[in-house]
Amino acid sequence: MSDIIFEQIRSGGCLSYLIGCPDTHSAIIIDPKSDQTDHYLTLAARDGLHIQYLLDTHTHADHFTASQTLARKLGAKVIMHRSSVAPYINMPVDDGETIIVGKLRFRVMYTPGHTSDSICVVLPDCVFTGDTLLIGGTGRTDLPSGDPSQLYDSLFNGLLKHSPELKVYPGHDYKNRSNSTLKQEIAENPRLQKKERDEFIKQMHELDLKMPTHLTEALRTNRSGGKTVEQMIGDAAARISFMSLEELKRQIETTPDNLIILDVREKDAYKESHIPSAINIPRGQLELRINDVLPDPTLRILVYCELGKISTLTAAMLQDMGFRRAIALDGGIRMWKEAKYPLQ
């Protein structure tokens, strides 16, 4: 593929693709994954690519798409099948349409089955199959909107009728394989050996697969454009500063009056033991009690919780309320206890 800039990005069994036109430097990312966002941008910068499109081959149930975040950052368009419900899609596509990226032409094939909004995208010598066809497997059909009978049609009456020489680039691979060909899959893929509809459906029903770890959260965020919990905490952490456990211990010993230490755990946990001189307002009561307990917004407030996550969110929220010097403990009281630091 010399007339194409091609990167396959592997992350935890997921495969995404950065494809660029070497003449115009326009590019598309197929199935961008949220933990690879900076990686894509670095690769694009290295090759001088302008990312024009983010394409998700379907609504992912097992990981978080980066399409919305990247589209916002880059002013790029988000492409999905027209039946996808995510509100941030601004270029819905349908079967048979062509996406032009510089001099490259990607043809869209509607291939429902793994999900009702699955598509494959075809270049002259390869196909990006999403989870419709994997190397030695197919996408599962037991997750929301999956349908084995539709997958049968998408494969046997659709995808597999293309030239057998087409290279297959799937959306997942857990064995470090990069690609295969339709020919190879037709010959060797165990799922494709069940060529009758009924037996194909039967084998799909008989797969006894574990649910993906983040199923609910992935579907919630990928379908709605909302944030993951990790994104919430990451966004909050990017806006505040932190204090290490050692530094807090030192400040308690040397300049205890310079700092309000705020414990946002529940009352019972606080009563049992807390960091010396800490005051307690449980997180759930904070907005309603803050004006009475902390009337001075210029105070330096250090927030802590059990693990360091709620305190990060809380410190960012306090900053929004005007407590510009609110910071969080880097760690939680659990780590404080493990370090055998003093308790009260």
Residues lying near Fe ion in the complex (CB under 5 A): 131
Of 45, 47, 46, 37, residue with least CA distance to 67:
37
Return the number of the residue (212 or 225) whose C-beta is nearest Fe ion: 212
Smallest distance, Fe ion to C-beta of residue 171, A: 6
C-alpha 84/C-alpha 99 separation (Å) is 17
CA distances from 60 to 45, 56, 75 (A): 27, 8, 22
Say how far apart CA 6 and CA 168 lie, in whole Å.
14
> DSSP for 60-98?
-SSS-B-HHHHHHHHTPEEEEETT---TT--EEE-TT-E
Cα 134 to Cα 274: distance, rounded to the nearest angstrom: 52
Alpha-helix runs per DSSP H in the chain: 37-46, 67-74, 148-156, 182-188, 197-206, 215-224, 229-237, 245-254, 267-272, 286-293, 310-320, 333-338
Residues 6+ apart with CB under 8 A from 288: none
Which residue lies nearer to Fe ion by CB, 93 or 151?
A: 151
- Minimum CB distance to Fe ion smaller for 43 or for 219: 219
Minimum distance, C-beta of residue 31 to Fe ion, in the bound complex (Å): 9
Residue with Cβ nearer Fe ion (129 or 311):
129
Closest contact distance (angstroms) between CB of 83 and Fe ion is: 15
CB of 270 to Fe ion, least distance (A): 44
- Least distance to Fe ion, CB of residue 74, Å: 24
Looking at beta carbons only, is 7 or 131 nearer to Fe ion? 131
C-alpha–C-alpha distance, residues 99 and 287, integer Å: 49
In the complex with Fe ion, the residue whose CB is nearer, 117 or 131, is 131
Nearer to Fe ion, 58 or 274 (CB): 58
One-letter amino acid identity for 148? P
CB-nearer residue toward Fe ion: 131 or 185: 131
Distances from the Cα of 129 to the Cα of 134, 160, 161, 247, 316, angstroms: 7, 11, 14, 52, 41
Tell me the torsion sign for CA atoms 199, 205, 208, 210: positive
Q: How far is CA 64 from the centre of its chain?
A: 2
CB-nearest residue to Fe ion: 131
Cβ at position 167, least distance to Fe ion in Å: 20
Q: How far is the CB of 11 from Fe ion (least distance, A)?
A: 14
Comparing CA positions, the residue from 88, 150, 78 lying closest to residue 115 is 150
Question: Which string of DSSP letters, residue by residue, matches 176-204?
Answer: S---EEHHHHHHH-GGGG--SHHHHHHHH
Give the shortest CB-80-to-Fe ion separation in angstroms: 13
Q: Least distance from C-beta 67 to Fe ion, angstroms?
A: 14
Q: Is 254 helix (H, G, I), strand (E, B) or coil?
A: helix
Distance CA 84, CA 90 (A): 11
Identify which of residues 131 and 147 has a Cβ nearer to Fe ion in the complex: 131
